[in-house]
Chain A
């Protein structure tokens, strides 16, 4: 069965430093990978996705993610963190074209960026 793991419940970063939020996945077919962000008392916002092609995916708000097939990872990165990036981040996966719309979410990583 497909699954997603976010090994860190919380990540703390100083403003201006690079940030990484980790995600590993397990699927039986080709992975379709997504990152979402959730600000307090808000819905989830789509950041970026990997379907196929270039392993480095660029998304919204300066975020990017690197797909690594051999390590089954899809880590989210940003070169310079902002205090406003503080939020809850979810990695998600779908397995194969016939998944019928179901996203499998990781448990979430709370990112805290301090001035």
Chain B
């Protein structure tokens, strides 16, 4: 299995809702990432997990809460989001977090916050 899967593909939520995004990979990768991407812009790194431990948090607001239950799964819990949080949320994984490792991206979750 050489892909990263993300669910759901689309999500519409109100500002008071709680929802979660899910990411899964079965490539044995030990680093996993969350990115936020606005239309036609580069992805912005949010979080990095290395060996199931949070290694980078790019000063992301606390309404976004990552979780890595095991080496194959990565979740992003959402609560009290703002309309400006509407974006494509991409998950990625790599064999390790070292600089030479390319990242493999999932198809993303298109999030709309009303």
State the A residues within 8 Å of B (CB).
32, 34, 36, 41-46, 49, 51, 88, 90, 94-103, 105-108, 110
Contacts and interface: CB of A to CB of B under 8 A. Distances in A.
Contacts of B11: none
Interface of B: 4, 6, 31, 33, 40-43, 45, 48, 50, 55-56, 90, 92, 94, 97-100, 102-108, 110
Contact of B48 (A98, A101, A106): A101
Contact of B43 (A32, A45, A105): A105
Given A43-B90, A45-B105, A51-B100, A103 B40 contact: no
Contact of A101 (B31, B107, B110): B31
A102 B40 contact: no
Contacts of A49: 100, 102
A37 B103 CA distance: 12
B42 A107 contact: yes
Contacts of A108: 40-42
B42 A46 contact: no
A100 B97 contact: yes
Contacts of B56: 100-102
B42 to A, nearest CB: 4
11 contacts: A43-B108, A44-B43, A44-B105, A45-B105, A49-B100, A100-B48, A101-B33, A101-B48, A101-B50, A101-B56, A102-B45
